[in-house]
């Protein structure tokens, strides 16, 4: 059994801070769960475009409000606590937090954590990210 505490993860190298967001990785690939599990905060006023071509991701909003735009359909969904979105079709999307938004995120396959050390996209997983996100994933 693995037991971890969010405040400790946030102070460790499992907490990744990037442009418009930060993410505390509770579980990574090496934990052997078959998925990774993150608590990610999206900052108020940011406009975060993402396109995970090799990952599926589910996001549950815990706090805060904003919108998500599905760039494939043009549809905009309101984000608020209790709203879950799942990128089941590698959906290209933009999140626009009105306030800071705190989320619980699941990635399949799991994020390795190494992505955070190379913002130039040198790791294979970098191909998963939209150019502006380089090798980082929330």
Count of C-beta atoms within a 10 Å radius of residue 95: 22
HSE on the CB side for 70, CA within 13 Å? 14
Closest contact distance (angstroms) between CB of 68 and a copy of itself is: 8
Smallest gap from residue 18 Cβ to a copy of itself (A): 21
Compute CA 113 distance to the chain's CA centroid, rounded to the nearest angstrom.
12
Question: By the 8 A CB rule, do 55 and 29 touch?
Answer: no
The nearest distance, CB 126 to a copy of itself, in angstroms, is 22
Residues near a copy of itself (CB under 8 A): 1-7, 26-27, 31-35, 37, 39, 56, 58, 60, 62, 68, 70, 72-73, 75, 77, 82-89, 91, 93, 104, 106, 108
């Amino acid at each position: 059994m693995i037991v971890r505490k969010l405040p400790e993860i946030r102070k460790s190298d499992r907490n990744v801070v990037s442009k418009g967001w930060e993410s505390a990785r509770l579980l990574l690939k090496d934990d052997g769960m078959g998925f990774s599990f993150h608590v990610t905060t999206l900052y108020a006023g940011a406009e975060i475009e993402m396109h995970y071509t090799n990952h599926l991701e589910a996001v549950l909003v815990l706090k805060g409000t904003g919108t998500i735009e599905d760039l494939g359909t043009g549809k905009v969904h309101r984000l608020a606590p209790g709203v879950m979105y799942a990128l089941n079709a590698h959906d290209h999307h933009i999140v626009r937090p009105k306030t800071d938004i705190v989320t619980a995120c699941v990635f399949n396959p799991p994020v390795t954590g190494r992505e955070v050390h190379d913002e130039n996209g040198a790791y294979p997983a970098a191909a998963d990210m939209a150019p502006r996100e380089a090798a980082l994933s929330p």
